[in-house]
Structure 1
Amino acid sequence: MIEVLAGPGAGEVEDLTAAGLLASIKASRETENAEAARQLVLAAQWADLHPPESIHSAATFAVPGREHEEPIAGEGAPLVAEFCVAELGTVLGISTTAAKKLIGHALELRHRLPRLWAQVHAGAVPAWRARSVAETTIHTNPALTREAAGFVDAQVAAVAGRIGPAQLDRLVAESITRYDLATADPTADPEDGYLSVDPRHVTVHDDDVHFAGTMRIEAEVDLADALDFNRAVAHGAETLKALGSTESLDARRAKALGNLARTQTALDLAGPGTDSEDLPPAREVVIHAHFDASLSGDTTVFGPTGRMENSQRLVLLEQIEAWCGDSRTKVTVKPVIDLSTPLTAQGYDIPDRIREQIILRDRTCVFPNCGRPARGCDIDHIVPWDEHAEAEGRPQPGPTTTSNLAALCRFHHRLKTHTGWRYETTAPGVFEWTAPHGYRYRRDHTGTTELDPPDPPGIPRPRRP
């Protein structure tokens, strides 16, 4: 077991010597590792409390969208009830996806990587290192059997988890070959286990936009594709220089990549005699940017900075002008929607104008800590629409109006519909959620704030001084 050492408080740090500071920060790290290990145990126990059997009953019919079994670790690890991850995530202040990953790592370690699990709780391996191994063994293609995962576990535990990503990939490949897992894939070469671990990907990190309006792209491709790509980008950078660009080589290479993505926007590449009006738009990107504006006589004056809807980051007006100024760019201007004006529809279906207003108001899914863009979300009736109200002569309890609508991603929409999660709107764009166990959260444009839970029945809350 890990011994947790008590360190000095914030007020006592200034009095510590250099040796005392080193001892204190060492104790702090040991406490952090111990608590991370404990969180893995608690996450696994939370899964134990929510097995698939907890969502089934003899009197329940299969309803589309209801909770189902969720495999979140490898073969041999138990299944869990799908919706249990959301409540764990909210109490930890993390997204549902991050909570699902935490539970999956805990189950993977406890059931398929037991040696590494034991080392974590003995203090020999930090939890973060063990979780990185679990993440790899969960998502290997082809999937590792329990025996193959055990082989990886034994090798990693032998070096106390000190293994880099490249070494871990080679170890997984060896395990795939050793247990003949590659032969299960008809496209895999059984003589080369490395081919079974396909590292190819292209990832656009659209959740990390730089203040300069740039975004990071990461890729792993075939060797021949990489060489062709490098040659094309280098040629594009040299072409830009020949055309008079004075930007740095890195900037020109980045711009050349953008030109490749737009299928060569330079008009002269289309060939002599080609009418540019006959060419399709090379850049057709929908950018929802919000800028403050004022009237100066007959002229609209925009502020220098605004907010990009899809990344929730600041953007300069001159950047928008530059993006729209590239050749063969299609620009669509949509009418302004007043977010303060309530809009109402008579039926259940949500008209496009109301949908757009909710998307612009909420920006993301309004469930606590969820960051999925509202443009890809469902629009939920907070108070459900009653399809029998009109026929029975009752007023509609859940009208299709701005104040009764909110953006919810499909998972959290299902969660709200089929579980004990409830929420209400307290102001435009402000929502208060109550979890099945009574935890309460406020969600608004600033993020998620935990509120005091309601008083238990018959137990008054002590007054604060």
Structure 2
Amino acid sequence: MEATATGNAPELGDLTAAELLGVARHESVVVQQGEANLLAVAYEWAVAHPADDDGWNAATFHHPLGDEPISGDGTPLVAEFCIPELGAALGVSTDAAKKLIGQAIEMVHRLPRVWKRVQSGLVPVWRAKQVAEATIHCDPALSPEAMAWIDAQVAPFLEKIGRAQMERIVAQAIELYGLAGQEHPRDEDNDGRFVHIHTPIGPFAGSMHIEAEVSNADGHDLAQALSAGAAALRAGGSTASLDVRRSMALGELARQQTSLDLAGADAEDETVQRKARRVDLHLHFTAEVQPDGTTGISPIGFLENGQKLVLLSQVRSWVRGTHTEVRILPVIDLNEQITTNRYEPTDRLRRQVILRDRTCVFPWCTRPARSCDLDHVEPFDHEAAGEGRPQPGPTATDNLAALCRSHHRLKTHTGWRLTSPSSGVFEWTSLHGQRFRRDRHGTQDLTDDPADPVPSRFP
């Protein structure tokens, strides 16, 4: 078989079926070993950046109910601000890099047999990550003896372990080593009830999946309310199926939901005040020139809540429904330069920057801009006006950037440098000289390739 002019490998289109399978098997092995090597790199990066002895700067996952460690009990703590550097190099978010480092630490220190098998390159890395995630987040926390037992049970069969089987093994370890009593006791306030509203999958936000576990009384009440609502819709002329009408009735219940105005109600009066709740959906549609030369609204817009696309026809159906309040905010020109003499941006300036940036502008970060801080790229000088000096860091469109709290702290307290050559364009330089550009098209890695190649295999 002849080689191509640009290299020693033949064109894939010239290979036989058997040769294509051979290439597929070879590339699969290369990818698997590469993922194992990446885990080893993540671990060595963590070793090189330990947290302080008191652990105040240790990396954690932040949740509304408290912080959660990135790896299991007894494992070394890692410095928080080292993680964005690795994530940026890998082209992933800081949270994804945090998870990768935590999984590597968990395997090395609490699942050594699993780690050894992964580093052999003979088992899928994703299965080992699945095991590490199960043990990191186990409640109650697993003792060293329980971890050693799990490691021995899982490692020989790592390529066959599924999620359900892993859950059974962890449950067995909890029972075997007497850890069950450490679980939070179940009572009337902690009995397994929940409501999950899942973020829609796919580019368009046409519907959402809701999953719930409720008490028998609440379940029967809800079923009757949905049946009554579906019947009312049918009587009103709806030709939709029963399932669709029940889902529509659930939406009507949500829009009519009321709460007690305890502050305004008379304690001796049994009459309660009813207050309707409002949900704001931030929708953005742009005007565009049609083929016939007229100007119309694009049929596809952007739903800021959830970072999804939305069809104009869907919005029309929403606003036609009852109990829908539509607020039209003034159109904001994203190319306009807005400035204020104050430190805090005006509402209009804030909305402009949020719409322009859409997410945190740190490389690969996807946290919505609406929940971010607006940071001055060039710091605002609070003494400049009083001393008669020009303001070096004005509160203006081209000097503001949306930064989530984590990356705002990173910019403030570390050696990461941020510049903005033009409005909406941000260039970052890391402590180790990595360079990235973030603009409306996403993140671009500007880091020069290293002069010396890095070996693709580790000893």
**TM superposition score category, shorter chain reference:** 0.7 to 0.9
Deviation of 1:313 (Å): 3.4
Residues of 2 paired with 1:290 and 1:79: CA distance? 46
Show CA shifts across 1:325-345 (max 9, x none). Answer: 211112222222222221111
How far apart, in 2, do the equivalents of 1:11 and 1:249 lie? Answer: 59
* 8 Å Cα contact 1:205-1:215 kept in structure 2: no
Match of 1:412 in 2: 407
Distance, in Å, in 2 between the alignment partners of 1:280 and 1:251 is 27
Equivalent position SS for 1:432 = strand
- Percent identity between the aligned chains? 47
2:139 and 2:212 map into 1 onto residues whose CA distance is: 16
Q: In 2, distance between residues paired with 1:346 and 1:448?
A: 31
Distance 1:454 1:167, change over 3 A: closer
- Paired position in structure 2 for 1:428: 423
Residues 256 and 27 of structure 1: CA distance in aligned 2, closer, same or farther (over 3 Å): farther
Q: Which residue of the partner structure matches residue 111 of structure 2?
A: 113
Structure 2 CA distance for aligned equivalents of residues 455 and 124 of structure 1: 29
CA displacement at 1:351 relative to structure 2? 2.0
Q: Cα 1:219–1:226, aligned 2, differ >3 Å: closer, same or farther?
A: farther
Output the TM-score relative to the length of structure 2.
0.80
Superposed counterparts of 1:26-37, under 5 Å: 26-37=25-36
Q: Are 2:37 and 1:42 equivalent residues in the alignment?
A: no
SS at match of 2:330: coil
Q: Is the CA contact (8 Å cut-off) linking 2:75 and 2:106 kept in structure 1? A: yes
Question: Aligned partners of 1:300, 1:312: CA distance in 2, in Å?
Answer: 26
Q: In the alignment, which residue of structure 1 is the partner of 2:262? A: none
8 Å CA contact retained: 1:34, 1:123: yes
User: Is 1:97 aligned to 2:95, yes or no?
Assistant: yes
Give the secondary-structure state (helix, strand or coil) at the position aligned to 1:360: helix
Cα contact 1:284–1:330 (8 A) shared by 2: no
Structure 1 stretch displaced more, 168-177 or 215-224:
215-224
* Matches of 1:9 and 1:259, distance apart in 2: 65
Aligned residues of 2:127 and 2:159 also touching (Cα < 8 A) = yes
What CA distance in whole angstroms lies between the structure 2 residues aligned with 1:423 and 1:300? 39
Are residues 27 and 46 of structure 1, via their aligned partners in 2, closer, same or farther at CA, if it must alter by over 3 Å? Answer: same
Question: Between Structure 1 and Structure 2, how many residues are aligned?
Answer: 417
User: Which of 383, 392, 395 is the matching residue for 2:390?
Assistant: 395
Instruction: Measure how far apart 1:30 and its partner are.
Output: 0.9
Aligned partners of 2:151, 2:231: CA distance in 1, in Å? 50
Which of 177, 182, 185 is residue 187 of structure 1 equivalent to? Answer: 185
The answer to whether the Cα contact below 8 Å between 1:67 and 1:418 also exists between their aligned partners in 2 is no
Letter in structure 2 aligned against 1:165: R
Unaligned runs of 5+ residues in structure 2 are 1-6, 61-68, 259-272, 452-459
Aligned-partner Cα distance in 2 for 1:161–1:230 = 44
Contact persistence 2:281–2:305 (CA under 8 A): no
Matches of 1:197 and 1:439, distance apart in 2? 49
Deviation at 1:442, TM superposition (A): 0.9
Equivalent-residue separation in structure 2 for 1:225 and 1:169 (angstroms) = 31
Structure 1 pair 182/340, CA: closer, same or farther in 2 (3 Å)?
A: same
The residue number in structure 2 matching 1:272 is none
Match of residue 214 from structure 1: 206
User: What are the superposed Cα offsets for residues 290-337 of structure 1, whole Å, 9 maximum, x if unpaired?
Assistant: 331689xxx995333322223443322221121122111122222222
Q: Distance in 2 between matches of 1:324 and 1:10?
A: 59
Corresponding letter in the other structure for 1:33: Q
Q: Following TM superposition, by how much is the alpha carbon of 1:154 offset from its aligned partner in structure 2, in angstroms?
A: 1.9
2: CA distance, partners of 1:154 / 1:227: 44
The correspondence of residues 357-368 of structure 1 with structure 2, limited to 5 A, is: 357-368=352-363
**CA 1:286–1:17: 2 relative to 1, 3 Å:** closer
Distance, in Å, in 2 between the alignment partners of 1:173 and 1:30 is 33
SS in 2 for 1:44: helix
**1:271 matched to which residue of 2?**
none
Match of 1:169 among 164, 167, 170: 167
Counterparts of residues 37-436 of structure 1 (less than 5 Å): 37-53=36-52, 67-68=57-58, 70=60, 71-188=69-186, 202-206=196-200, 208-211=201-204, 213-217=205-209, 219=211, 221=213, 228=220, 237=230, 240-241=233-234, 243-263=236-256, 280-281=275-276, 284-292=279-287, 301-436=296-431
Q: Residues 391 and 361 of structure 1: is their aligned pair in 2 closer, same or farther, counting only changes over 3 Å?
A: same
